[in-house]
Each structure stands twice: as structure tokens, then as C-alpha cells.
Amino acid sequence: MCRLIVGNKNEKANIKHIKNIILAQSDELKGEKNGIAAIILGADNQLKVWRELDTKKYDFVIQSFIDSLDDAKFFSIHTRTATSGEKNLANVHFFEVGKCLIAHNGWIKNSAIPTTFYRGGRNLLLQSFVNDKNYDTFIMTLQNCRNCNYIQSKYCNKHKELGKAVDNYVGSDNYDNSGLMCDTHEFLTRLPKPLALQGIKDLIIKMEFYGAAVLFDRTTSKAFLIVEKLVNAFTDFKTYAIEFSYDPKRKYCLNKTNTFSGIPFQIEEPEEELEDVEYTVPYGTYEIKIGMPNA
């Protein structure tokens, strides 16, 4: 369910090592099939953004991201598996609203957007409807039912007929979800601008936000990290910190190309392994001190 990497470094960081850390995550990033996006804030305070839906372009985005890390102060990359909203380019995180960007690995409970929640090791499709208050009430009933969440069938006996009615409505011509945006887009839209720590914390509580997310405000050049799930990190506590919304991979392989008779031959080097100590980040919302991870 999505992969998110967030990084911060200063000019003393070992850039080769940071690139190897990202390189080691390539296969993990490419495992999510509904879009890739990346941002880098350079030393000139200009923000580079890549967004692609086509999985054939993942390698290009990842390599462009790695190549642009040399003068980066702040960087992040996200790949998506859709749990709400359409599977289209418009729903590829990072979203941008009012010069503010967000990428999110998780879901939001109090959202008007249809969401696939993961409960009891299986998928339970919980649809809520923006324009129909009755269906919105029905969905909250299903969402808050303990039996619906944990039984092996889709709905418990008490809500079987209600669930069937909801499913039929979703499958009918009356329900138009074309262009439907992800719940994360709704969260960003509702956030007060410019972004501020307390405003983010308040909306997290109000919307029951779950997961890990990063926000960046172009106006103020401030970045924020939301941690409402297990987040792992590599850091030397001096020059860089990189956070992961999953258990980061450690093995990577560098390739080089030799040319003979006008033909390039790709040579795969022996596999190497990162030796970084892995830390966890406590739950909370934090303003990232860009370029000064030890401050």
C-alpha cells in the first residue's frame, strides 16, 4: 500500500552513500503500480517535480531523482497503490493545492472519498457518497460495525442487505466516480494555508488520518512529516536523515557499461549491502529543518 521515502541532508553529507540508499529501494518502489512521483528542493531553493502514471517510466523517474540528489537539501519519492480515488495521473501523489504538496502512505477514515480499508488481513470496501446523505449515513454504519470489519464474508448478517444495496448503487449508472480524487487530496484541500504545525495536527485528529505523509509549502519552503504508522529511518545524526514508510531494503547493485566495437555492454557489479543502523520515528507531526537534520 504505497511506498514513501523522505530525506533531508546538508552539504557535508556523503552523496554517494545517499544515492546508494535510494538505489537499494528501487525494486520496492517499483512494486506499487499506480503511479510514481518525486520532489527535490535544490540548493537554489527551486523545487523539481516528477509525476508519472506509466510503470514503464518508473526507471526514468527513479534515475532522474537519484541524479538530482547532488545539490538537494530536501527530497522525497512516492509510489502508489490506489486505496481511494481513480487510478489516473491526477491521483498520483504528490498532490498540489494552493502551492502546497503532499504524498501519503495510508488512509483517512473521516473522508468523503471511497476508500479500501485493510482490516483483519483482507480488503473491506467502504464507500461513502459525497452527494447523498443517506448513503453517507449507511456507510458510516458499515464502517463502524465491528462484525463487518472482522468476519470473513463482506458484511455481517445484520448489515447484509444494507451492504448489498450499497454495492448495487456503486455498480449502477447512478454512481459516477469518474475523476474521483484520492482522500489525501481532500486532506490537503482542507488544510489551512500556509501550512503550520498546529493546523496539520488539528486536521489529523478531525479526519482520523492514518499513515505516513510528507508536506511541502512552496510559499514558505517549509516541510512537515506526519508519522501515524511505523516509520523507519537511516541517519548519521550529523549530515542526513532518510525516513521510510516501510522496512527499507539494504541490498543494491551498481551497473556499469563498457563499449566495444560501437556496442555498449552492461556489466552487473557484485551485490553490495548497506550497513546503516535502522531507527524508528515516534508517532507525531514534525516540521523538518531543511538542510539541518541535526538542528
Q: Where are the beta strands (DSSP E) in the chain?
A: 3-9, 36-42, 47-52, 72-79, 95-97, 100-108, 115-119, 122-126, 209-217, 222-228, 232-235, 240-244, 251-252, 255-260, 263-268, 272-273, 278-280, 284-288
Give 10-residue mean pLDDT values along the chain (295 residues). Answer: 92 95 94 92 94 93 96 95 76 90 89 46 34 46 54 61 60 49 86 96 93 96 96 95 95 76 78 92 96 62
Sign of CA dihedral 21, 102, 116, 88: negative
Burial class (CB in 10 A: 0-12, 13-18, 19+), 97: middle
Residues 6+ apart with CB under 8 A from 13: 239, 240
Do residue 8 and residue 44 come from a single domain? yes
pTM of this prediction?
0.76
Domain annotation covers residue 97: yes
Identify whether the C-beta of residue 50 lies closer than 8 Å to the C-beta of residue 86: no
pLDDT of residue 35: 92
pLDDT of residue 109: 82
| Total count of domains within the chain | 2
Helix runs in the chain, H state only: 15-24, 26-30, 58-67, 133-143, 146-150, 160-170, 183-190, 197-207
Do residue 216 and residue 253 come from a single domain? yes
CA distance linking residue 248 with residue 130, whole number of Å? 37
Do residue 229 and residue 277 come from a single domain? yes
Identify whether the C-beta of residue 100 lies closer than 8 Å to the C-beta of residue 218: yes
pLDDT of residue 260: 77
Q: Which domain holds residue 254?
A: 3-108+194-288
At residue 58's C-alpha, the angle toward residues 251 and 102, to 5°, is: 95
Radius of gyration, alpha carbons of the chain: 21
Identify whether the C-beta of residue 210 lies closer than 8 Å to the C-beta of residue 228: yes
Domain annotation covers residue 94: yes
pLDDT of residue 165: 61
Do residue 42 and residue 151 come from a single domain? no
Cell for 62? 527513479
Do residue 7 and residue 100 come from a single domain? yes
Identify whether the C-beta of residue 257 lies closer than 8 Å to the C-beta of residue 266: yes
Burial class (CB in 10 A: 0-12, 13-18, 19+), 264: exposed
pLDDT of residue 147: 57
